[in-house]
Structure formats: structure tokens, C-alpha cells
Amino acid sequence: MSRPLTIALSKGRILEQTLPLLAAAGIEPAEDPQSSRRLVLPTNRDDVEIVIVRASDVPTYVQYGAAAVGIAGKDVLVEHGGEGLYEPLDLGIARCRLMLAGPAEPPPVPPRRPRVATKYVRSTRRYFAGQGRQVEIIKLYGSMELAPLVGLSDWIVDLVDTGGTLRANGLAPYETIADITSRLIVNKAAMKTRHGPIRALVDALRDAVDARAA
């Protein structure tokens, strides 16, 4: 018997919004992924299993073939670089914006070479390079809003949903860098060796996305 088709997912908002799409495609985990301590979950289909990993690790698991397919935010995919991956479908879920933000009342004269705190280094560098603006990028892994409050940075680049966290910390969005949604990604080698089942999954998820939008 061939190895089950492995789908890499991460807990949180993406998972919550992915499960109904998978269910519409005929795939349901055998237990609740949000509460289960198991990292490899069987499904109602013997030929499909789900692995739970960190959001930032989903593209890596798919790139190296530990999972044939995965679902990740476009922000994560840009930072990863997309090596070894196909991106056949925008699922249109977990919508948010990657934004430049800073103090709600910025100084009248912006810093000559602003310091920007972010975990999205590649996206931030590309954005400012495209504008011909020089910045110093400081990589952080969390609590981005703290950086301007304590003088670590002038601005931040981070994901923004409602903007409530920014407002609560005296910050405001300045510019939208990218609109973010979650994408289905596929290992390039697996797309050749397991084309049939992967194509069927892509088509079923596309139908589910189209039905939801109708």
C-alpha cells in the first residue's frame, strides 16, 4: 500500500478556515486538530493524513517532500522563497494585510534612515528597495508593536487584520505592502509522481472555494 498523501497544516486561523474546505473536498480529520496533541492525524480517508507544524515551517515540509501538499499564508511563502513548490490555488482564506506601521502621531520630519522591525525581512527589503528608500531592518520574531514603544525601531512591518492591536499600543497603519491570503502549495516532485491524487485534491478544493464564493 502506498504512503498516504500528507497535508501540512498549522494551528490557528488558517486551520479553522481550511477545515470546512477540506470537508467539502471529502477530507475530515479523525480528531480535532486544534485540541489534539498528536502531530500526525489520520483522516476519514486511508489515503490522506494531516501533519500539524508551525506556520513558518509548512513550506519547508512541502519543499523537502515530508508533506506532498500544504496550506500557508502568502506572507510565509514570500519569506520562504518558493523553492521546490508549486502554488496552484489561492484559497482566499485568512485574509489580512502586510503593512508598514508606526506611531499614530509620527514626528514631522521622518528619520533619514528609519529602523524597521519585522519578521518579514525579505518582503520588507523588497518593498523599500522598490521605492528607492534606505532603511535599517531589525529582525524580530514577536511582539512587533513593542519595538517603536521602547525606541528599538521607528516603524514596523507586520500583518494587520482589524488594527486593534496597533491602536491599543498607540500605533497606526501607514501603507499596505501586500494583501495576504492562504495558498495551497504542492511539492514539485510529488506533482509528477503522485499527479492523480494531487490533481484530484486541487480540483476538489477549487470547487469548494468556488462554491463558497458563489
- Gap between the Cα atoms of 6 and 71, Å rounded: 11
Q: 74 and 142 share a domain?
A: no
Sequence-ordered alpha helix ranges (H) in 81-194: 121-131, 146-149, 164-168, 188-193
Pairing of strands 69-73, 182-187: antiparallel
| CATH assignment of the domain containing 105 | 3.40.190.10
Query: Are 79 and 52 found together in one domain?
Result: yes
pLDDT of residue 112: 83
Check whether residue 14 and residue 90 sit in a common domain: yes
90-124: b or e for each residue (b if 16 or more CB lie within 10 Å)? Answer: ebebbebbbbbbbeeeeeeeeeeebbbbbbbeebb
Same domain, 15 and 78: yes
- Provide the domain count of the chain: 2
**143 and 109 within one domain:** yes
- What pLDDT, in 10s, does the model give residues 118-170? 999 999 999 999 999 999 999 999 899 999 999 999 999 999 998 999 999 99
Give 3's DSSP letter.
P
Q: Which residues contact 211 (CB under 8 A, 6 or more apart)?
A: 24
Same domain for 86 and 116, yes or no, is no
Q: Which residues are CB-neighbours of 36 under 8 A, at least 6 positions away?
A: 52
Q: How high does pLDDT run on average in the chain?
A: 94
Q: Find the domain containing 10 and state its range.
A: 5-94+181-213
Residues 101 and 151 occupy one common structural domain: yes
- Assess whether 172 and 200 both reside in one domain: no
Distance between CA atoms of residues 46 and 52, nearest Å? 18
Banded pLDDT at 174 (limits 50, 70, 90): very high
In angstroms, how far is CA 110 from the centroid of its own chain?
Answer: 31
Same domain membership, residue 190 and residue 89 = yes
Considering only CA atoms, which of 161, 141, 2, 5 is closest in space to residue 70? 5
pLDDT of residue 23: 97
Query: What's the grid cell of residue 18?
Result: 481550511
Q: Are residues 35 and 73 in the same domain?
A: yes
Give tens-digit pLDDT for 21-52. Answer: 999 999 999 999 888 899 999 999 999 999 99
Same domain, 59 and 164: no
